[in-house]
Amino acid sequence: MILTTRRTLQSILVVTLLMLGLMSGVASAATAHTYGDVLIAQSYEIPITNPTDGLTYQSVVLVSGAHLDTRKPDYSGVTAPKGQIYLTLKWTSAPPQIPYGQPGYGNFFSQITPLPASALTFVSGKHSYGSVRINPVDQTGSSLEYDGLIQATYYFLIPISTKSGQVVIGKTTSIGTEYQNMTGGQPTVLNIGGPTSIPLTFPKLTVVSPPGAVTTPLSSKSSVLSAVIQWLILIAIGLGIFYLVRRQRKVAEPVEASVPVDTPAAAVGNPLSAPSPVAFVGQVDSATTDLQINVLGGLEFIPSLGKISDPARAFLIYLALHTDRPRSVDDAQTALYPLDSSGKDISRSSFLNYVSEARKAVGSRHLPEAGDVGGYRLQHFTSDWSQFQAYLATFEKSKDESAIAAGRAALTLVRDRALAGQISRYYEWAHTESYFSQMERSIAKVAFELSSLLIRADDLEGAEWALRKGLLVAPASKAMWEQLTDVLLEHHDQALMQRHWHAAEAELGSSGLSELKRRETGL
């Protein structure tokens, strides 16, 4: 009876381990995602014409980079079909800044409805791919820092094996307002000129595990190979255990060992239950936290809050970054709504209306009444900045593989400069309280130190990825440009270096470029 039971248990053990192997492969495919970033830093001018009077002005489009990701950029959690990946551009557009006193000063187009998806095409070789437009920004009544031409998210679904191509902006029409001498007319149909081509060369992609796990640059083929190897290892472990148990049974009956119920599994030698070598305190319990606020790039709320005013949105960001204590009405109003150019302050009733709008957008669970918590405080949420700080703490106190894992996890959160595009007066507190500078210093620190660790580990692709992440927020960092130059020189690719020199000159100027080029000759 005992032997029969043991055979049954052994069979169950082996089958369980085999199933674990299969499930591990499935889980990896379900939770890991693949991505890559391209640093471009190039501006383009797109002509816009009002057919009623024939006047043409240029919209200046600054393309900071491109992003490849198997996760759909609408935050739906949808993963790209096998063998495909989503491509998005990181860009902004604005009217030309004509100096005062020169012809054309005060003339431009603004409040433009974002380009239709049909205007954008990605071309690679003989193949072309259409775009999808989501989250277009309503420019009505907005400030004039951006003309609205591309204030939406555009993405392409392309083969994951694509190495290069170009995004082409073709001729199209849109609705916008012409301003002459800073005075706007009526919205009218505008002719958007073209074509404008934006060349892209994609890096080797990175396979990223869930937050907190080690991320390693891999090709899609090598990630599959890795999953197969893990599966085979689990099979080998199962067969080994089966063999040992059979052998032990022939010698003597095992003695049952009792373990106190409050003893951790790791304490009795179970390696599968031992703590991870890196304890990522930035991981979030989704059961209690269902609001994500991302500030390390363009502002994102997950789930989306829909249409909400800029003052109400700024109020939520203020609370998201001030988590040390509840904030009083005076605290928040003074920080968020500084006196305007006429010296006029916002009324208390207007401020409270914005607070009510913010509460309606996120719900009272996340933003309760001030009297309930002793002031205004955002609850049951997380932010990419708080996660980054947790990873940073682990990075600073860890060594080697653990530090690399924490650094990768931190930089994965970085999409662009903090609160990119949010430049209204409602965010002046983020400058005066040094939030932006603190974020930039922290990101640059992780990027440079992680790249140094990866260089010592002979992972040049990982080092390049880290440095490009750092340059997103600190584009004029001489130290990072120097380190990136040393890394790229190892490729011995003249075309790659020409693109690198061009991007470096845009940030460092001709004198900075001259210093950088000395590293090529060692002089």
Q: What is the pLDDT of residues 336-378, one digit of tens each?
A: 886 555 556 678 888 899 999 999 999 999 999 987 777 899 9
Tell me how far apart the alpha carbons of residues 102 and 14 are, in angstroms, rounded to a whole number: 81
pLDDT at 261: 31
- Calculated CA dihedral for residues 502, 506, 510, 511, nearest 10 degrees: -120
pLDDT of residue 259: 30
| Whole-number Å distance between alpha carbons of 416 and 443 | 11
Q: Where along the chain do its domains lie?
A: 2-30+210-252, 33-208, 287-475
> Which residue, chain included where needed, has tokens 């340059």?
471
- What rounded mean pLDDT belongs to the chain? 78
**pLDDT the model gives residue 382:** 93
Q: Does the pLDDT of residue 453 top 70, yes or no?
A: yes
pLDDT at 155 over 70: yes
pLDDT of 190-211, one tens digit each?
999 878 999 998 888 877 554 4
Q: How many CB atoms are closer than 10 A to CB 238? A: 20
- The stretch 161-175 carries a mean pLDDT of 92
Topology of 33-208 in CATH? Immunoglobulin-like (2.60.40)
Give 272-303 pLDDT, tens digit per residue: 222 233 334 434 444 456 899 999 988 899 99
Nearest CA-CA partner of 59 in 107, 119, 18, 14: 107
Residue 384: the pLDDT is 94
- Higher-pLDDT residue of 246 and 268 is 246
Q: What share of the chain is helix, strand, coil (3-state, %, to 5)?
A: 40, 20, 35
pLDDT at position 227 is 59
- Count Cβ atoms within 10 A of the Cβ of residue 497 and give its class: 0-12 exposed, 13-18 middle, 19 or more buried: middle
β-partners of residue 165 are 200
Q: Confirm whether pTM is higher than 0.85.
A: no
The pair of structure tokens assigned to 151 is 């204030």
pLDDT of residue 424: 74
How does DSSP assign 22-82, residue by residue? HHHHHHHHHH-EEEEEEEEEEEEEEEEE-TTT--EEEEEEEEEEEEEESB-TTSS-PBPPT
Position 13 scores a pLDDT of 52
Sheet with 382-383: strands ordered across: 300-302, 292-294, 382-383
Q: Give every CB contact of residue 130 below 8 A, 6+ residues apart in sequence.
A: 117, 118, 120, 121, 156
For 24-81, what is each residue's pLDDT tens digit?
A: 444 444 456 688 888 777 888 899 999 988 888 888 888 888 889 888 887 677 888 8
pLDDT at 411 over 80: yes
Tell me the C-alpha distance between 228 and 120, whole Å. 39
* pLDDT > 90 fraction of the chain, expressed in percent and rounded: 35
- Euclidean distance between CA atoms 29 and 13, whole angstroms: 24
Query: What pLDDT digit, counting tens, does each position of 76-112 carry?
Result: 778 888 889 999 998 888 877 666 667 777 788 888 8
CB 21 within 8 A of CB 234: yes
pLDDT of residue 264: 32
